[in-house]
Amino acid sequence: MIYSYTLYTPVNLNQLRFAQAVAQRQSFSQAAHLIAVENLPIFTALVLVAHLAGISNVVTAGAAALYFFGMLAHYLFFTLGIPYARTLAFLVAGFGAELALAFTILGWI
């Protein structure tokens, strides 16, 4: 049995490991949220420009859905600690949706 030096109470090692794992997942969750918040202004600006220009078609609606579900997948993969899947989800959601909107605004699609 391990005793805590500060409270002089027995500490269950499994509970300590579980608490550390929860804290790590919480930091992953916060990092994924920060990435989503950093990427949101670019996407929002493109959506507003497309809306003000009167551009609304299948590509813009698909890009918005792709961004939402892709960032949701990125959040889940980041929190679960799956590195390659989270990178792929971010590339598809972040860059893919933004490029689709930008190309639609420019008339390239």
Query: How is residue 21 written in tokens?
Result: 């794992």
What is the model's pTM? 0.76
What does the block give as tokens for 10?
Answer: 């027995």
Cβ atoms 64, 103 nearer than 8 A? no
Give me the percent of the chain exceeding a pLDDT of 70. 77
Q: Report, as ranges of residue numbers, the positions in the chain whose pLDDT lies below 50.
A: 1
Mean pLDDT over all residues of the chain?
Answer: 84
Tokens of 38: 């950093």
The domains of the chain are located at 24-106
Q: Say if residue 78 is exposed, middle or buried (CB neighbours under 10 Å; 0-12, 13-18, 19+).
A: buried
